[in-house]
Chains A and B, each alone.
Chain A
Amino acid sequence: MKALSPFAGLAVAEIDRRLAGPGLRWRSGPFVIQLRARNIPRLGEQLAFLYAAHPVIDPPWEEVADTHLDLIRSGGWRRWWRAQAIMEEDGARPLQPFPLDHALPLFEWGWNFIIASRGNRYLMLHTAALSPDGERALILPGLPGSGKSTLAAALALRGWRLLSDEFALVRPEDGRVMPLARPVALKNSSIGVIRDFDPKAEFGPLFPKTRKGTVAHLKPPPASVAAMDRSCRPAWVVAPRFESGAGASLQPMAPEAAFLMIAANAFNYEVQGELGFQAVARIVRNCTIHTLTFGDLSEAVALLAELVAS
């Protein structure tokens, strides 16, 4: 194996050069991406900050990439006036263009979209996942707005290993969760909540007025990135529900209800067929399962620390 240089070891000018030329290739968890982007201001610098600890893969490449993405600057009259960033994958354009200065959120959502539609080697749960000890995983399923990303960010800032804020990648054969230590996308008020929770939290730029409101990306903890090849065994499932003013409390959940919740929450439960059924059954059998109502982040974090210690 070749030695890999982290993003942080590359000058921004070199990142830009690769983006504009053959492509910048790096890996997060099991997925290798090759990104090309030409004439998109600041993207190289933003990636260098958020992915600082990720390994960049230098050419000549010894493996194929999972994904080849191009970010293209719009042409014609849109080249200068209300310029847009367009995402292209192998000649197809699966997402609507974004304003040019929102190229980073476009990239992050674009990569999520590609993983959700292509990562079918895994049972993909639409959940955050973290590990308190590097071996056991806590899975946080929840609808948008349930506070799972906020909770994931808070736990990561308290020293939990971030496995993912968006995907729990379950290997159907052995039920283990593969990490994908990408930046955590936070929206609207949760950005301020996390800033208040930990003033040392490192955020990328604020992107106002995206389709999902204001978005900012939290840099993943370097230790989580360094450990992103080590899978974890699911041990707890906690379905969070943010409720303004509520005290933090855990309620046990019946396994049959948990099974349906997890299966319905997966991106590709049906695709996995019998493997998917077995994988969800294994999670339900082996995990302690609760719902968590919370109104205060610190209380929720303390309660989860208690749960995993017991």
Chain B
Amino acid sequence: MTTPPADGHALLAVLREPGSYAAWSVTGRDGLLRLARRHGLLGTLAERLVADGLWEALPRREREILTGSRRVAAENARLLTWEVGRIRRAFFGSGIPVTLLKGCAYHLAALPMARGRMAADVDILVDWEDLPLVEKLLGQHGWRHVKVDPYDQLYYRQWMHELPPMRHWERGREVDIHHTILPRTSRLKPKARDLLQASVAARPDDPGIRVLAPTDMLLHAMTHLFYDSDFEGQLRNLVDIDALLRHFASQPGFWEGLWSRAEGLDLALPCHYGLRYCARLMETPIPAYLLARSNRGAPPAPVAMVMDRLVPRGLVPAALGNPPALASRLAGWLLYVRSHWLRMPLGLLFGHLLRKSRKRIRGHVWDRRAV
């Protein structure tokens, strides 16, 4: 019997159809579990097996391994909830709501796809004009800057979409304070104020903790993956986007609203990519009319052709133990270059890389670590 490789495609297929997990050989399941762990998807896999009623049928050792990952993920969710409460307390009386992004938002909004999913930090979005106050309030309540180097501070403040991260002195958790969702130097310019205005209460009974509206939550996830990353090790973000699409699909008007919102926020390109590659790699049930309409956001044909080849190679990992093929490494490198190209104009990028490499050569990197 030949076993197909337990690669990223196989893992995606099992996440899509947890029932297919049992059809794998022991070696195959071993490879799938290891790959899932490597990509931060072990807890997600565990919860999907549970949700589909497959838990009791799992072999004992697999259940034990997955039990560990479920407990860790549950602890992570408790910590996030606690941390968000602390931030809210720091903001108390300022009139600034705590608007959460990414994994922390999925958890606080109690989305089913958040079960089993780990998130290391808390990401919040605040209005540009509120930044000085937010920084002051967090500083007063025990958060300290992690990046103490003046150039790093300048780099974040001048060019990034977030402040340099702050960490709580006692609990060690970081908060990333975003004022928009793409670097200031990026070619696309979504307006953060539009996102904040459309934000919704994470839970109906508590207006003080907010998350982005469903369409915006998706557009942010798509932008993050398809416009601001190099795809390396980002498989989980694709799984997130697929799960969010499937979750919100049942809301009336969701699909219709998604594309018009993408165009309105200047995020047509990442939305096009997100829909296209979710349909291709995750078989996400996206209405055909929307896929057709989203082609309006597609890049020029030669670029689209290249991306169709690069993205699956860069995003979906090979089976563990198999060194990536040359073509995948080349794809990874090209996508890495692309991610920087999109981030900032060439002149700026050149200066930044020069500065970084000079520091690296001078060997101060370790001395400057604040951790």
Closest Cβ neighbor of B35 among chain A residues = A90
With both beta carbons as reference points, the residue of chain B lying nearest to A123 in the complex is identified as B71
Q: Of A61, A68, A90, A273, which one neighbours B74 at CB under 8 angstroms?
A: A273
Select one of B26, B59, B65, B320 contacting A66, CB under 8 A.
B65
Q: Is B78 an interface residue (CB 8 A)?
A: yes
Q: In the complex, what residue of chain A is closest to B26 when comparing beta carbons?
A: A61
Q: Please, which residues of chain A bring their CB within 8 A of the CB of B71?
A: 120-121, 271-273, 275
User: Is the beta-carbon distance between A120 and B37 smaller than 8 angstroms?
Assistant: no
Given A63-B59, A64-B30, also A118-B68 (CB < 8 A): yes
CA–CA, A66 to B62, complex, Å?
Answer: 8
CB of A32 closer than 8 Å to a CB of B: yes
A261 interface hit (Cβ, 8 Å): no
Which residue of the partner chain, among B29, B38, B69, contacts A64 with CB atoms under 8 Å?
B29
Contacting residues, chain B, for A271 (C-beta < 8 A): 71-72, 75
Dominant secondary structure of chain B at its interface with chain A: helix
- From residue A219, how far is it (CB to closest CB) to chain B in Å? 26
Known: A63-B59, A272-B71. A121 touches B65 (CB 8 A): yes
Is A273 a contact partner of B75 (Cβ separation < 8 A)? yes
CB-nearest residue of chain A to B67: A121
Query: Across the interface, which residues of B come within 8 angstroms of A65, CB to CB?
Result: 30
Chain B residue numbers with a CB within 8 Å of A92 are 38
Do B72 and A121 touch across chains, with their CB atoms under 8 A apart? no
A122 closest partner in B (C-beta): B68
A-contact bits for B303-320, CB 8 A (1 contact / 0 none) = 000000000000000001
Docked CA distance A91–B61 (Å) = 22
Return A298 CB to nearest CB of chain B, in Å.
40
Does A229 lie at the interface of the complex (its beta carbon under 8 Å from any beta carbon of B)?
no
Residue A270, interface by CB 8 Å: yes
Contact flags A265-277 to B (C-beta < 8 A → 1, else 0): 0000011110100
User: Which chain B residues (316-367) contact chain A, with CB distance < 8 Å?
Assistant: 320
* Cβ contacts under 8 Å, B67 to chain A: 120-121
Chain A: interface residue total (CB-CB under 8 A): 22
What residue of chain A has the Cβ atom nearest to residue B61's Cβ?
Answer: A63
Binary A-proximity of B66-109 (CB < 8 A = 1, otherwise 0): 01110110110010000000000000000000000000000000
- List of B residues within 8 angstroms of A121 by Cβ: 64-65, 67-68, 71
Please provide the chain A residues from 62 to 89 with a CB less than 8 Å away from any CB of chain B in the complex: 62-66, 68
> Contact flags (1/0) for A26-50 with B, using CB distance below 8 Å?
0000101000000000000000000
The minimal Cβ–Cβ distance linking B117 to chain A, given in whole angstroms, is 16
Q: How close is A122's CB to chain B, nearest CB, in angstroms?
A: 8
Interface hits, B1-58 → A, CB 8 Å: 26-27, 29-30, 33-35, 37-38
B37 and A90 contacting across the interface, CB-CB below 8 Å: yes
User: Known contacts A90-B34, A90-B320; is A66 also within 8 Å of B74 by CB?
Assistant: no
Contacts of A118 on B, CB cut-off 8 Å? 65, 68
Supposing A63-B59, A270-B75 touch, asked if A120 and B69 sit within 8 A by C-beta, the answer is: yes
Identify the closest chain B residue to A59 (Cβ): B27
Could you tell me the distance in whole angstroms from the C-beta of A198 to the nearest C-beta in chain B? Answer: 36
Task: Judge whether A295 is part of the interface by a CB distance below 8 angstroms.
Answer: no
Structural contact, B68 and A119, CB atoms closer than 8 A: yes
Contacts of A120 in B (CB 8 A): 67-69, 71-72
* B64 to chain A: closest residue by CB: A121
> A30 to chain B: which residues have CB within 8 Å?
64
Kindly state the separation between the CA atoms of A64 and B37 in the bound complex, as whole angstroms. 14
Residues on B with C-beta less than 8 A from A61 are 26-27, 30
Residues of A within 8 A of B74 (CB): 273
CA distance A32 to B71 in the complex (A): 20
Q: B35, B61, B68: which contacts A32 (Cβ < 8 A)?
A: B61
For A275, list chain B residues within 8 Å (CB): 71
A63 CA to B59 CA in the complex, in Å?
8
The complex places the Cα of A99 from the Cα of B102 at a distance, in Å, of 42
Partner of A62, one of B26, B33, B34, B38: B26
Give every chain A residue within 8 A of B33 (Cβ-Cβ).
64
CB nearest neighbor in A for B34: A90
Least Cβ–Cβ distance between B59 and chain A, in angstroms: 6
Q: Which residues of A contact B320 (CB under 8 A)?
A: 90-91
Distance in angstroms between the alpha carbons of A64 and B74 in the assembled complex: 24
Cα of A91 to Cα of B36 in the assembled complex, Å: 12
A215–B26 Cα distance when bound, in Å, is 37
Identify which of residues 237-294 in chain A touch chain B, using a CB-to-CB cut-off of 8 Å: 270-273, 275
Using CB atoms, name the residue of chain A closest to B76. A271
Docked complex Cα distance between A58 and B71 (Å): 31
A64 pairs with B62, CB closer than 8 A: yes
Residues A63 and B26 in contact in the complex (CB < 8 Å), given A120-B72, A273-B71:
yes
- Within the complex, which residue of B38, B59, B72, B78 is in contact with A91, where a contact is CB–CB below 8 Å? B38
Bound CA span A119–B59, Å: 17
A212 to chain B, nearest CB (A): 23
Binding site for A on B (CB under 8 A): 26-27, 29-30, 33-35, 37-38, 59, 61-62, 64-65, 67-69, 71-72, 74-75, 78, 320
User: What are the 4 A-B residue pairs with the smallest beta carbon separation, nearest first?
Assistant: A120-B68, A64-B30, A121-B68, A121-B67
A-B contact pairs, 17 of them (CB 8 A): A32-B61, A61-B26, A63-B26, A64-B26, A64-B33, A64-B59, A66-B65, A90-B38, A91-B38, A91-B320, A92-B38, A118-B68, A120-B67, A120-B69, A121-B67, A272-B75, A273-B75
Beyond A30-B64, A119-B68, A272-B71, 13 additional pairs, beta carbon < 8 A: A61-B30, A63-B26, A64-B29, A64-B30, A90-B320, A92-B38, A118-B68, A120-B71, A120-B72, A121-B64, A121-B71, A271-B75, A273-B78
